[in-house]
A and B are shown apart, each in its own frame.
Chain A
Amino acid sequence: MGDLYDSQRAMRNMRKAAMQRGVIAILDIGTSKIACLVLRFDGPETFRGADGVGSLAGQSSFRVIGAATTRSRGVKFGEVDAMQETERAIRTAVQAAQKMANVRVDHVIACLAGGRPKSYGLDGSVDIANGLVTDGDIGRVMAACDLPDYGAERDVLHAQPVNFALDHRSGMADPRGQIGNQLNCDMHMLTVDSVALQNIFFCIKRCDLELAGIASSAYASGISSLVEDEQELGAACIDLGGGSTGISVFMKKHMIYADAVRMGGDHVTSDISMGLSVPMATAERIKTFYGGIVATGMDDREMIEIGGDTGDYEHDRRTVSRAELIGIMRPRVEEILEEVRVRLDAAGFEHLPSHQIVLTGGGSQIPGLDGLASKILGQQVRLGRPLRVQGLPQAAIGPAFSSAVGLTLFAAHPQDEWWDFEIPVDNYSGRSLKRAVKWFKDNW
Chain B
Amino acid sequence: MQPLTAMRPRASLPRDPAPSKWKYRYQRWMLTPGVRGLIRFGGPLAIIGIVAVSWYSHDENRALVAATVAQAKATIQQRPEFMISAMQVEGATEDLAASVALVLPMSFPVSSFELDLETMRKRVEALDGIRSARVRLGDAGKLMVDITPRVPVAVWRDGDLLRLIDEEGVYAGFVESRTDRLDLPLIAGDGAQDHIAEALDLFKDAKPLQERMRGLVRMGERRWDIVLDRDQRILLPADGAVGALDRVIVLQQARDLLDRDVAVVDMRNPNRPTIRVNKEAAGALHRAGQTEADN
Contacts and interface: CB of A to CB of B under 8 A. Distances in A.
B31 interface: yes
A88 B25 CA distance: 12
B28 A98 contact: yes
B4 to A, nearest CB: 9
A199 interface: no
Nearest to A101: B31
A385 to B, nearest CB: 27
B21 interface: yes
A365 to B, nearest CB: 21
B148 to A, nearest CB: 69
A91 interface: yes
A207 B16 CA distance: 17
Contact of B19 (A73, A91, A309): A91
B210 interface: no
A104 B25 contact: no
B22 to A, nearest CB: 11
Contacts of B19: 91-92, 95
Interface string B6-41: 101011010011110100110110011100000000
Contacts of A282: 11
Contact of B11 (A88, A94, A104, A309): A309
A387 B218 CA distance: 111
B5 interface: yes
Nearest to A206: B21
A99 B18 contact: no
Interface secondary structure of B, over-half rule: loop
Contacts of A71: 13, 16
Contacts of A104: 28, 31-33
Interface in A310-345: 311
B18 A92 contact: yes
Nearest to A89: B18
Contacts of B21: 91
B33 A88 contact: no
A20 to B, nearest CB: 14
A103 B8 contact: no
Nearest to A102: B31
Nearest to B24: A91
Interface string A58-72: 000000000000110
A99 B27 contact: yes
A281 B13 contact: yes
Interface residues of B, number: 19
B25 to A, nearest CB: 7
Contacts of B24: 91, 94-95, 207-208
A125 B285 CA distance: 137
Interface residues of A, number: 22
B258 to A, nearest CB: 95
Contacts of B16: 70-71, 73, 88-89, 92
Contact of B31 (A73, A89, A92, A98): A98
A102 B17 CA distance: 19
A307 B11 CA distance: 10
Contacts of B32: 104
Given A281-B13, A309-B11, A95 B27 contact: yes
Contacts of A207: 24
B8 A208 contact: no
A73 B5 CA distance: 33
B34 to A, nearest CB: 10
A309 B8 contact: yes
A73 to B, nearest CB: 7
Contacts of B3: 311
A312 B13 CA distance: 21
A39 B174 CA distance: 93
A311 B6 CA distance: 8
Interface in A71-98: 71, 73, 88-89, 91-92, 94-95, 98
Contacts of A311: 3, 5-6, 8
A98 B19 CA distance: 13
A266 to B, nearest CB: 15
Nearest to A280: B13
Nearest to B10: A309
A281 B15 CA distance: 13
Contacts of B11: 279, 281-282, 307, 309
Contacts of B8: 309, 311
Given A92-B18, A95-B19, A281-B13, A208 B31 contact: no
A168 to B, nearest CB: 57
6 contacts: A71-B16, A91-B19, A92-B17, A98-B27, A98-B28, A279-B11
What are the 7 closest A-B residue pairs judged by CB atoms, nearest first?
A311-B5, A104-B31, A88-B18, A92-B18, A91-B24, A104-B32, A95-B19
Given A91-B21, A95-B28, A208-B25, 4 more contacts: A95-B19, A281-B11, A281-B13, A311-B8
Interface of B: 3, 5-6, 8, 10-11, 13, 16-19, 21, 24-25, 27-28, 31-33
